[in-house]
Structure 1
Amino acid sequence: MEFGAKLTIEETPIPGLLVVRIPVHGDSRGWFKENWQREAMIAAGLPDFGPVQNNMSHNVEVGIVRGIHAEPWDKLVSVAHGRVFGAWVDLREGDSFGSVFTTEIDPSVAVFVPRGVGNSFQTLEPETVYSYLVNDHWSADAQSRYTFLNLADETVAVPWPLPLDEKKMSAKDLAHPRLADVTPMESKRTLVTGAGGQLGRALREVLPDAHFVTRSELDLTDSAAVDAWPWRDYDRVINAAAYTKVDEAETPAGRLGAWAANATAVGRLARVSAENQITLVHVSSDYVFDGTHEVHTEEEALAPLGVYGQSKAAGDVAVATVPRHYLLRTSWVVGDGGNFVKTMASLAERGIDPSVVDDQVGRLTFTADLAAAIVHLLSTDSPYGTYNVSNSGAPRTWADIASRVFEILGHDANRVTGVSTEEFFAGKSAAPRPRNSVFDLSKIEATGFSPRDGDVALVDYLGAR
């Protein structure tokens, strides 16, 4: 064992399996090491895997063999005393299934083992103490989700330095299957909430393998339901669920609903995402601003006018506490479901001439483009944080958009009459609305994503009705 070596992280042929060279300081009296040093190790390249439990294995004799066990969590394995031959086999589904890596571990070496990679070792010295940090608590249910491989499997052919001795292996390890009979551990999945909404339906088109849930399946306003959900099975959560009844939010019942769904539930989702190292994607709104800026940037201070906007702003604050988050602010959403464009198209074709607000300015956000932006950020590992997302092009008023819908469908655009917000809502109970909802899109464009021109998207949308 070398004293005073520099902390380094080395990659291996198994994706995500990393060898950590740990500085050990010693003299004739013994040695000292920082076996887990979060700040330094993360800076060196180790994932911030969030360990919650430390386990120790004492092995009396030379030649004791344990494994090959692939567990549904990440772990950092090391040796506190003695020396082992470590062997790892990738038991995850994918191209690297069956890949093998071996190395010796003494107190100066640790290995980061990602979820689904089989871990095993053979002791090379007596009185060896094997230590491992894990990022989930052991339970009988968790053990039922292990994947195992026989230590003597001929296909992977681990080059054990000492002959395998059945007396030094457990009966369970002896009974584990050969590689041909192993069911690979499934990859962590993407969870999408709000599956029945406009964005949820658009996400189904681009993320067919994700797990989509409605409120009846996972009610984020129910703390017990959230706590009982198997969050460790997911590495990404896209929250497309929200309370969106802007005017109803101003009523006593609506106020409760808006805050429960847009603030309290999002706070719970932020907590479990942080606790489980989940990347959280959350969709917000132009209503978190008061609309007094000509263009809204991601850095603009929150200034919501009404209850809906206030509840969404509270959710934004919660999401920002998650280390791995994408907060997407959108405006004037249009997708598969009831929306302004469909309403105008229906009026045009039924011969009804509408009065439409002409003093609120913004851009439409088609859910197909919003879904594409989400996939882009996730697939390119773009920097975490807040992004404005809408379609591009010249900003328009609601009346401009209505007129354009009439025109695209072959009707007289002059059938649309522009009115002020005050005129439109005269005598009605309505929430305050931002007068300007135009977003600066330069931040998401800098990641390589170019939102479609809003007029092109509108023509495509009406043509696909």
Structure 2
Amino acid sequence: MAELAVSPTGIPGLLVVSLPVHGDERGWFKENWQRARMVAAGLPDFAPVQHSVASNGPVGVTRGFHAEPWDKFVSLVHGKAFGAWVDLREGPTFGAVHTQALDEGTAVFVPRGVANSYQTLTEDVVYSYLVNDHWSPEASYTMLNLADPTVGIDWPVPLEQAVVSAKDRDHPFLADVTPVPPRRALVLGAGGQLGKALLAALPGAQGLGHQDLDLADPDAVAAFDFSGVEVVLNAAAFTAVDAAETPQGRREAWATNATGVAALARAAVQHGLTLVHYSSDYVFDGTQEVYDEEDPLAPLGVYGASKAAGDLAVSLTPRHYLIRTSWVVGEGRNFVATMADLAARGVVPAVVADQVGRLTFTADLAAATTHLLTTGAPYGTYDVTSTGKPCSWADVAREVYQHLGADPATVSDTTTEAYTAAAASSGPVAPRPARSVLSLERITTTGFTPTDQTAALSAYLAARAGTSEEQA
């Protein structure tokens, strides 16, 4: 009896599954779909929602080629068949072919956009199909002619002797097939620091701003058309941590960071989306030396509490990457840009020295995101920051001053308590975690290497200076 095994083919994502079949004089039994074991063996956790069964009577019944708009797990309940698959997806493997003998002990996982065809080799063949979207008469299929000479399938039963529908005989040849485009990636919060970096790292992604989809409106999220979307990257958030301590700000923070994210998580479940969500060190209280992904949430303020609530909602979606980060620096307003402006104006600042963490550059966050999405890394929570020795805000300020030719000694240390007391005259000041150092062990075990924060800071300041010179 064969062991359960999942084997790749020459078509990316097309997988052959060897199924153990247990038999005796009474007949046989197999686990046709066993999620936990099959996923552990290498099958995607594709979340099937419909099971269909097709019966074919005579030898030589030939169906296809059909590239369907969903993922498909096909196996035989009875009989033997010959399977052929052609990659009709846009990309370098367009036109790639795989053929496979099928019986009760062999199944095939067919990714969206790969055309499948089956020819019966015995009478009364029964096929079983699991798909991760509900069949609809409006569903769009991409077809290929069974007799295409450029594909060159060596059919066991010649097509002139096979049982083929008139429709399947009239499909276009490969030269006339329009490749199946990849499903879209949506970037929410496209105008922000991280959103801009994600759009740069994900060619073809669609960026949505607040005016396109208001995350604070659950009804708008529920009504949004996610058809043709595969991944949603949520870089939208209410990030005004001090304003969140006001009555109005509290409502806005919870509406966007918690209620809106919960609505997005529901949509991800409903539409089978992969949800990438970005969170913050503010979900922790800052009392530990280092935080990892499994540490309990303990936010100090309203912003952190609203982000923690959103994290919990995201963690319940089957396909999610929850990426926690800290001290984000990108294109737009941020601490490093502020210090650079102060250095250019000759300001002598007092900067908090008792909050410790690491910088994170949006290009690194975007690179980590694409790494997780393209390598098939396990779903779950990942901490992502730059590497290097943890430092304080005052240390970062001095580094900025030195890099720009200003005297780093003019940056003096202050405490969180003194900063809060001075800023309180302008309104509420949110509590900040004293330590925001996140463990990078989990993300590095996937093969991703974050950037050293000192090197990244130098590159950021150099690029910013170059941009300023061009604009001048």
Amino acid at match of 2:12: P
Report Cα offsets for 1:339-391 as digits up to 9, x if no partner: 22222333333454444334333332222233233334444544544333333
Residues 230/177 of structure 1: CA separation in 2 closer, same or farther (3 Å cut): farther
Of residues 48, 53, 58, the one that matches 1:61 is: 58
Amino acid at match of 2:152: A
Greater shift in the superposed pair: 398-407 or 148-157: 398-407
Between the aligned partners of 1:124 and 1:446, the Cα distance in structure 2 is 46
Aligned residues: 460
Which residue in the other structure is 2:420 paired with?
422
- Note if contact 1:356-1:424 (Cα within 8 Å) is conserved in structure 2: no
- Note if contact 2:80-2:103 (Cα within 8 Å) is conserved in structure 1: yes
What displacement does 1:198 show?
Answer: 0.3
Amino acid at match of 1:244: T
Between the aligned partners of 1:37 and 1:394, the Cα distance in structure 2 is 45
Asked if 1:87 is matched to 2:87, the reply is no
Which residue in the other structure is 1:97 paired with?
94
Which residue in the other structure is 2:316 paired with?
321
What displacement does 1:231 show?
Answer: 4.7
What displacement does 1:221 show?
Answer: 3.7
Which residue in the other structure is 2:467 paired with?
none
Residues 302/6 of structure 1: CA separation in 2 closer, same or farther (3 Å cut): closer
Normalising by structure 1, we get a TM-score of 0.87
Amino acid at match of 1:432: P
What displacement does 1:320 show?
Answer: 2.7
Amino acid at match of 1:426: A
- Note if contact 1:285-1:312 (Cα within 8 Å) is conserved in structure 2: yes
What displacement does 1:174 show?
Answer: 2.4
Q: List runs of 5+ in structure 1 lacking aligned partners.
A: none
What displacement does 1:76 show?
Answer: 1.7
How does 1:324-363 map onto structure 2 within 5 Å? 324-363=319-358
What displacement does 1:309 show?
Answer: 0.2
Between the aligned partners of 1:133 and 1:241, the Cα distance in structure 2 is 35
Between the aligned partners of 1:342 and 1:46, the Cα distance in structure 2 is 45
Asked if 1:15 is matched to 2:5, the reply is no
Between the aligned partners of 1:258 and 1:195, the Cα distance in structure 2 is 18
How does 1:160-239 map onto structure 2 within 5 Å? 160-165=155-160, 168-229=163-224, 231=226, 233-239=228-234
Between the aligned partners of 2:43 and 2:441, the Cα distance in structure 1 is 32
Report Cα offsets for 1:140-173 as digits up to 9, x if no partner: 34x22x1100122122122222333599433322
Asked if 1:289 is matched to 2:291, the reply is no
Normalising by structure 2, we get a TM-score of 0.86
Asked if 1:137 is matched to 2:134, the reply is yes
Of residues 401, 406, 415, the one that matches 2:396 is: 401
What displacement does 1:88 show?
Answer: 1.8
What displacement does 1:47 show?
Answer: 2.6
Amino acid at match of 2:397: A
What displacement does 1:102 show?
Answer: 2.8
Residues 204/168 of structure 1: CA separation in 2 closer, same or farther (3 Å cut): same
Amino acid at match of 1:18: L
Asked if 1:436 is matched to 2:435, the reply is yes
Instruction: Determine helix, strand or coil for the equivalent of 2:424.
Output: coil
Residues 68/360 of structure 1: CA separation in 2 closer, same or farther (3 Å cut): same
What displacement does 1:449 show?
Answer: 4.2
What displacement does 1:313 show?
Answer: 1.1
Which residue in the other structure is 2:469 paired with?
none
What displacement does 1:421 show?
Answer: 2.8
Which residue in the other structure is 2:468 paired with?
none
Amino acid at match of 1:285: S
Between the aligned partners of 1:443 and 1:87, the Cα distance in structure 2 is 39
Between the aligned partners of 1:451 and 1:23, the Cα distance in structure 2 is 42
Between the aligned partners of 2:60 and 2:179, the Cα distance in structure 1 is 28
- Note if contact 2:368-2:384 (Cα within 8 Å) is conserved in structure 1: yes
Between the aligned partners of 1:7 and 1:362, the Cα distance in structure 2 is 46
Residues 41/342 of structure 1: CA separation in 2 closer, same or farther (3 Å cut): closer
Which residue in the other structure is 2:75 paired with?
78
Asked if 1:52 is matched to 2:55, the reply is no
What displacement does 1:70 show?
Answer: 0.6
Asked if 1:387 is matched to 2:382, the reply is yes
Between the aligned partners of 2:162 and 2:389, the Cα distance in structure 1 is 76
Which residue in the other structure is 2:460 paired with?
461
Amino acid at match of 1:49: F
Between the aligned partners of 2:187 and 2:137, the Cα distance in structure 1 is 27
Which residue in the other structure is 1:149 paired with?
144
Asked if 1:41 is matched to 2:38, the reply is yes
Greater shift in the superposed pair: 179-188 or 205-214: 205-214
Instruction: Determine helix, strand or coil for the equivalent of 2:306.
Output: helix
- Note if contact 2:216-2:252 (Cα within 8 Å) is conserved in structure 1: no
Residues 163/217 of structure 1: CA separation in 2 closer, same or farther (3 Å cut): same
Residues 132/369 of structure 1: CA separation in 2 closer, same or farther (3 Å cut): closer
- Note if contact 1:357-1:424 (Cα within 8 Å) is conserved in structure 2: no
Instruction: Determine helix, strand or coil for the equivalent of 2:200.
Output: helix
Residues 20/339 of structure 1: CA separation in 2 closer, same or farther (3 Å cut): closer
Q: List runs of 5+ in structure 2 lacking aligned partners.
A: 465-472
Instruction: Determine helix, strand or coil for the equivalent of 1:426.
Output: helix
Between the aligned partners of 1:13 and 1:397, the Cα distance in structure 2 is 51
- Note if contact 2:217-2:255 (Cα within 8 Å) is conserved in structure 1: no
